[in-house]
A and B are shown apart, each in its own frame.
Chain A
Amino acid sequence: MATLQQQQQGRDRIRLALLLTPGLLWLVLFFALPLVIIFVYSFMTNDALGRVVYQPTLDNYITVFTQSLYINAYWRSIWTSVLTTVICLLIGYPLAVFIARSPQQWRMPLLMLILIPFWTNFLVRIYAWQIILANNGIINGFLELIGVGRLPLLNNEGATLIGLIYGELPFMVLPLYAAIDRFDFTLMEAAADLGANKIQAFLRIMLPMTMPGIVAGSVLVFIPTLGQFVVSELLGGAKVDYLGNLIQRLFLRANPINWPLGSAMAVLMMIVLLVLIMLYFRATTEEER
């Protein structure tokens, strides 16, 4: 005969299993399974019609590591993602401080202003940037008016960067706001009282204490930026290849399409992400240990 406590524990375990099942199923079906498929495909071969042939090989990885087209795409994507993350951080941090330090009744409206763009489809917003940056667009119209003349603003890597920063900024601001809002600004007064100037107080107190927000925001910006392909196509003019563009092309538009090579690129991208994020966590959480 089980004790009452054991009966209770048994019942708790059943409840827990019931509650976790849907989530677990979802993860297995839509996360783990596709991941396994991609991983397996990355070691397969392609035939002339673009079908996956089950013939194990390392060729796909060798191709990625040896052909400059692919290697360059990695470097370009990593560099662009780092740049996007850093610029989002530099814009987002002061913005988040400003919102967190605003009078209570202003904070929600200001946060809403950050979120309102999400009410419109992302593609539509990127097309809007085309209109802004185009040769006969809004900015160039103004530049011509004041006599500067038209500048090539669209269809280059700068335009891609602008679009990425624009799109990702909210994902930086929101976690930063959450961290800064929790930060007790009396600590800055305490630091000043103990002889720290503004910069010292920021570096020694506020920065380490809001680091969780910086890490969260950076990761949220960096990951989607590394794999993006829409912005570089619509604003960058698809002149240079980013990781996302290559993978998308290999899966859908190449002739013949090449799923195994695309899978190898995707797996490597995941590894790059894992390594970079691990390094980042290690670098930013050192203070705590």
Chain B
Amino acid sequence: MNAFVETAMLVVGFLLIIAGCYGLIRTYHLLKIVIGVEVAMKAVTMFIVLAGFINGKAALAQTFVITVIVIEVVVAVVAVGIAINLYNNYGSMDVRNLKKLKG
């Protein structure tokens, strides 16, 4: 039973990462890019929970997960802040505007 749960969590985690990266690649919208990477980040917290479940250190894993969630929120806030400033400068959320730095 345990082995089944572990494998299922691993597979679901990888699917979430792939879903996040697929969303990141397919969209041209700045906020949707942030959402995509956040989805992938959620999968990572799941891996940490799984690791704690397997090695029996669930308490340590929980402290890790809470710290990661806090960091993630801060990164998301900074990302959305930059996206809003880009919107103010360009008037659209299209990532194809970002073409000034090349070479």
Q: Do A and B bind each other?
A: no
Question: Which residues of B pack against A, CB within 8 Å?
Answer: none
Question: Which residues of A pack against B, CB within 8 Å?
Answer: none
